[in-house]
A and B are shown apart, each in its own frame.
Chain A
Amino acid sequence: MNGFFGSDLAGTVGTWTAAVATLVVWGHLAGERRLFTWAQYLLAGLLSGYLAVLAVREVLMPRLVEPLVAAPAERLELWPAAMLVIALIVARHLPRTASIVPISILVGGIAAFALSGAVVGTILPQLAAGVTISGGDPITLGAGIAGAAVSALVLVAFVHGMASGPILGAASSGGRWLIVAGMGAWLGLLLLTSLVLLVDRIAFLLRDWLGLLP
């Protein structure tokens, strides 16, 4: 039982809507495309509407408009943000040299946070954790060496296409196989997750919709 819908009228309508939507999506497997396309339009429309409401209600109004209206002289840091928001809204009507500024700031900011976070939060601490193998038991030592060897082979796999000798070629080939093996393991876990979702949907139909399960 997903527990999102109660037994009142709203809950009943929600359960029926979810059940019909599930059957419509599964109908695509039997070749029913028209209803499935409508379901896709419905999803896209609902998602767009939800994102718009979320942006206005939980971001723009409480974090930008209301503080600026309440104290425009004290919240000077919000004025550039307000100008960027306006520039993004009217970007398609601005000259390219002007419209590219807010978009560049947006893309550059996201990339900078992601890159710096990956270096400071993942690469350096994981390297430190991987190379600290002295004083450990043989299993830890072996795992550390194996981890370093796998990492090296996977990195070497990316040199394919460059001039290389037989040793580098073999290492590159081994690295590519390791990547394939890793992707296979990941797909296996994805299959497990997908099956859990499928079983959850079937349980929803049997229990919440049809009432066949206790």
Chain B
Amino acid sequence: MRERLVLARRLAPIALILLLAAALLAGPGIGRWDRDGVDAVPADALLARIDALPPGALVLVAFDPDLTTYAEIRPAARAVLETLTGAGLRVAIASFSPEGRALGAAELARLDVAATPLDLGFIPGGEAGLVSAVRGIVGVAAAGPVADAIRAGGGGLAAFDLAIVIGGGDIGPRSWVEQVRPRAPELPIAGIVPAVQRPQLDPYLASGQLAELVAGPDAVAAMVGPDDALDRRADAVVLGSLATILVLLLSGLWPHLARRRPASADADEAAA
């Protein structure tokens, strides 16, 4: 009996959060999350930068998200891939991390567009790989108009007009600012990252080392545009945050509350 009680106590907070999230996803929505209040400036700035590129401009998507945080930025990553391929730009995709390569290959496989991006594959070496990519990123086997255009521009990262780094892991916008920007200063670097990376990247945006930064669920929602499923998820996250804070507060207060129980309650429990 006592074991069951312990298990029930242990599962109660988790069950509460799961049930709340499921109810919000399946229910009519509570509208706690206000789409009109979202700061759309970062997403609009990135989309405007893409719009301003001349037809046929070369854009590199560095696909290096983290498996554990990719779900947060997945809608923005897909939106940017579809925008780029739909805008008549010449797009290439490369990964500098094994996880990024797995996710990038999966996204390329599901991308249903006429102008498929050039797959530059996995470039090994982490930050050393980034440095080598500045000199040359196209393999000898790569063929087609996009590969030829990169070779005509020198074969390295400087051939591109824009680099969009989809980050989340060790290799991300910070690595690009540290390793690529000093070697290819003319290449604008934009980042799409989960909220947890925003504090370390905001200073790069303020100093101009990063051209654009889309970070966190709000910016992702602004990037995607009206989407009922995304709004429901945002609702669930808002309520989930409140429930988690409540659980944390209760778990912090519980020892104090338990200590103040009357002595008779302890005696009854011992007798039982």
Report B-chain residues with C-beta under 8 Å of the C-beta of A120.
Answer: 178, 182
The answer to whether A186 touches B199, judged by C-beta atoms less than 8 angstroms apart, is yes
- A109-129 CB contacts (< 8 Å) to partner B: 109-110, 113-114, 117-118, 120-122, 125-126, 128-129
Contact A113 B131 (CB under 8 A): yes
Contact partners of B126 in chain A: CB under 8 A:
110, 113
- Across the interface, which residues of A come within 8 angstroms of B25, CB to CB? 199, 202-203, 206, 213
A2 to B107, CA, bound (A): 10
Residues 1-21 of B, flagged 1 when their CB comes within 8 A of A and 0 if not, give 000000100110010011001
Shortest Cβ distance from residue A121 to the other chain B in the assembled complex, whole angstroms: 3
The answer to whether B244 and A193 have CB atoms under 8 Å apart is no
The answer to whether B240 and A199 touch across the interface, beta carbons within 8 angstroms, is: yes
Query: Does A13 touch B at the CB level, under 8 Å?
Result: no
In the bound complex, do residue A192 and residue B140 qualify as a contact, i.e. CB atoms below 8 Å apart?
no
A4 CA to B196 CA, complexed, in Å: 24
Instruction: Verify if A50 is at the interface (C-beta below 8 Å from B).
Output: yes
Q: Are B203 and A200 in contact (CB under 8 A)?
A: no
Q: A63 CA to B21 CA in the complex, in Å? A: 47
For this complex, 20 residue pairs linking A to B, each with C-beta atoms less than 8 Å apart, are A3-B78, A50-B102, A55-B124, A58-B121, A67-B140, A113-B179, A121-B178, A125-B207, A126-B207, A185-B199, A191-B241, A191-B244, A193-B194, A193-B196, A196-B71, A198-B240, A199-B25, A199-B240, A206-B22, A206-B25
List chain B positions with a Cβ less than 8 A from chain A.
Answer: 7, 10-11, 14, 17-18, 21-22, 25-26, 68-69, 71-72, 74, 78, 98, 101-102, 106, 110, 121-122, 124, 126-128, 131, 139-141, 174-175, 177-179, 181-182, 194-196, 198-199, 203-204, 206-209, 216-217, 229, 233, 236-237, 240-241, 244
Q: Which 6 A/B pairs are nearest by Cβ-Cβ distance? A: A121-B178, A117-B178, A129-B207, A200-B71, A113-B127, A196-B72
Given A3-B110, A121-B179, A199-B233, 14 more pairs with CB closer than 8 A:
A2-B71, A113-B179, A117-B182, A121-B178, A121-B209, A125-B209, A189-B216, A190-B196, A192-B196, A192-B217, A195-B241, A196-B194, A196-B195, A198-B17
